[in-house]
Chain A
Amino acid sequence: MERNVAQIALFAALIAALGAIPQITLAFGIPITAQSMGVMLAGAVLGARRGFLSMLLFLLLVAIGLPLLAGGRGGLGAFVAPTSGFLIAFPFGAFVTGLFVEHVRLRPIGLRAGLGAVLGGVLVLYAFGVVGMSIGLGKSIPECVKLVLAFLPGDLLKAAVTGMLVAALARARPQSVAWSQSA
């Protein structure tokens, strides 16, 4: 119980911290919106259930007015902005990523986590995000898909990096990445 609460809370805090440290850039100078990488990490490290709860906790804190989003944003406005779909998708993205890594027996671990991150952290996030943009901007779904596709290469790169990070985490703290023990 205590360990679950602590991990859920610390990952929510980690996502917030990743949004607050501005100097991180990916290869080729693509700035990380490190927070979507945090979603992938939460799902891949904590698993489906705790990953979901951790991201839900993060969203609740944003909703009650803490400036936890990248650039010190937050509050209820974040849930009606055109990008709100991506935000609302956080728990579901983490859940799908977690479900994948827990149930698909695939080696090496990094590949499993990377594919899970593509499914949860890219596909699920984009699906929600596109619907949100479509509502907010009054554009059709295909038009919004075109708008977000520009970000796809960067996000796929993030998923790959997440795979590598999870593999390293599983080596460093095998007891914390529980599913990595199973075959």
Chain B
Amino acid sequence: MISLTSPVRTRAHGWPAGPKLAGLAVATTALFLISGPALQALALAAVLALYALPGRDFLRHGLRQLRVLWPFVLLLLIWHAVSGGWAQGVAIALRMTSTVALANLVTMTTTLGELTDLLHRLLAPLRRIGLPVRLVEAGIPLVIRFTPVLITKGRLLVEAWRARSPRRANWNIVLPMALLALDDADHLAEALRARGGLNPSDED
């Protein structure tokens, strides 16, 4: 399973994940505090400069990650063109793009392993107040392993459907996929038990 970490090595890859996340929180808060299109444009320019530093591939890949925002940018611009206050609309669109771009930047420069470690530390307090954190943590590698398995099986189901029907596969495909997931879960549970189970003694 491929993570969204950028293969382009940047200096930020070496920084610890905790401070990067804290910095992201501060920067995002700051973006909501400053107002006016001029300041927001400056902020976005600074964010884009960060994207441009590691090189053109990194910048291009980063911009591609932002394309889900364009419908919202369009919506905001049309909204404010109709209702007035275009400066505010532009400011909001800029702020939205900057916050998402910054968050993506942290994701692109931090490895899965580091974030998993950080998650473990962040979840520790929840464990103390008795939430079943361990159930969730034990699930992480299982999901990473089984997502591609289910995707492959799902694609096979869609192909089998196509071979038999002139129409496109519809929600009918969800039922066999859910059944496959439930059955896989049963087999997986047996396999885990057969290998000694999830050891409750390594609680911390």
Asked whether B178 lies within 8 Å of A14 as measured between CB atoms, the reply is: yes
Asked whether A45 lies within 8 Å of B178 as measured between CB atoms, the reply is: yes
Chain A: minimal CB distance from B150 (Å): 4
Nearest B residue to A66 via CB reads: B3
B15 at the interface (CB under 8 A from A): no
The contact of A137 among B92, B158, B197, by CB within 8 Å, is B92
In the docked arrangement, what's the CA distance between A58 and B79, Å? 34
The contact of A67 among B2, B100, B153, by CB within 8 Å, is B2
**Which residues in B have their C-beta under 8 angstroms from that of A17?**
147, 150-151, 153-154, 177
* Contact flag A5-B181 (CB < 8 Å), given A71-B68, A76-B103: no
B50 at the interface (CB under 8 A from A): no
Chain B: minimal CB distance from A51 (Å): 13
Asked whether A24 lies within 8 Å of B179 as measured between CB atoms, the reply is: no
**Which residues in A have their C-beta under 8 angstroms from that of B103?**
75-77, 79-80
Chain B: minimal CB distance from A29 (Å): 9
Asked whether B143 lies within 8 Å of A61 as measured between CB atoms, the reply is: yes
Over the window 105-146 of chain A, the binary record of Cβ atoms lying under 8 Å from chain B Cβ atoms (1 yes, 0 no) is 000000000000000000000000000000011110000000
B112 at the interface (CB under 8 A from A): yes
The contact of B170 among A13, A27, A71, by CB within 8 Å, is A27
B1 at the interface (CB under 8 A from A): yes
Asked whether A18 lies within 8 Å of B177 as measured between CB atoms, the reply is: yes
Chain A: minimal CB distance from B35 (Å): 11
For A, the interface residue count at a CB cutoff of 8 angstroms equals: 64
A94 at the interface (CB under 8 A from B): no
The contact of B107 among A13, A23, A75, A169, by CB within 8 Å, is A75
Asked whether B116 lies within 8 Å of A6 as measured between CB atoms, the reply is: no
Asked whether A67 lies within 8 Å of B4 as measured between CB atoms, the reply is: yes
**Which residues in A have their C-beta under 8 angstroms from that of B107?**
65, 74-77
* Contact flag A6-B96 (CB < 8 Å), given A16-B143, A65-B4: no
Asked whether B170 lies within 8 Å of A5 as measured between CB atoms, the reply is: no
Q: Name B residues whose Cβ lies closer than 8 Å to a Cβ of A.
A: 1-5, 24, 28, 65-66, 68-69, 72, 75-76, 79, 88, 92, 96, 99-101, 103-104, 106-108, 110, 112, 115-116, 119, 132, 135-136, 138-140, 142-144, 146-147, 149-151, 153-155, 158, 168-171, 173-175, 177-179, 181-186, 188-190, 192-193, 197-198, 200
A-B contact pairs, 16 of them (CB 8 A): A3-B185, A5-B198, A6-B188, A6-B192, A8-B136, A8-B139, A14-B150, A21-B154, A21-B173, A24-B158, A24-B170, A27-B170, A58-B143, A64-B112, A76-B107, A81-B96
Q: Name A residues whose Cβ lies closer than 8 Å to a Cβ of B.
A: 1-14, 16-18, 20-21, 23-27, 32, 34, 37, 41, 45, 53-54, 56-58, 60-61, 63-68, 71, 73-77, 79-82, 136-139, 147, 161, 165, 168-169, 172-173, 176
Given A9-B185, A24-B174, A138-B92, 6 further pairs, Cβ under 8 A:
A5-B142, A10-B182, A20-B147, A65-B110, A82-B96, A173-B182
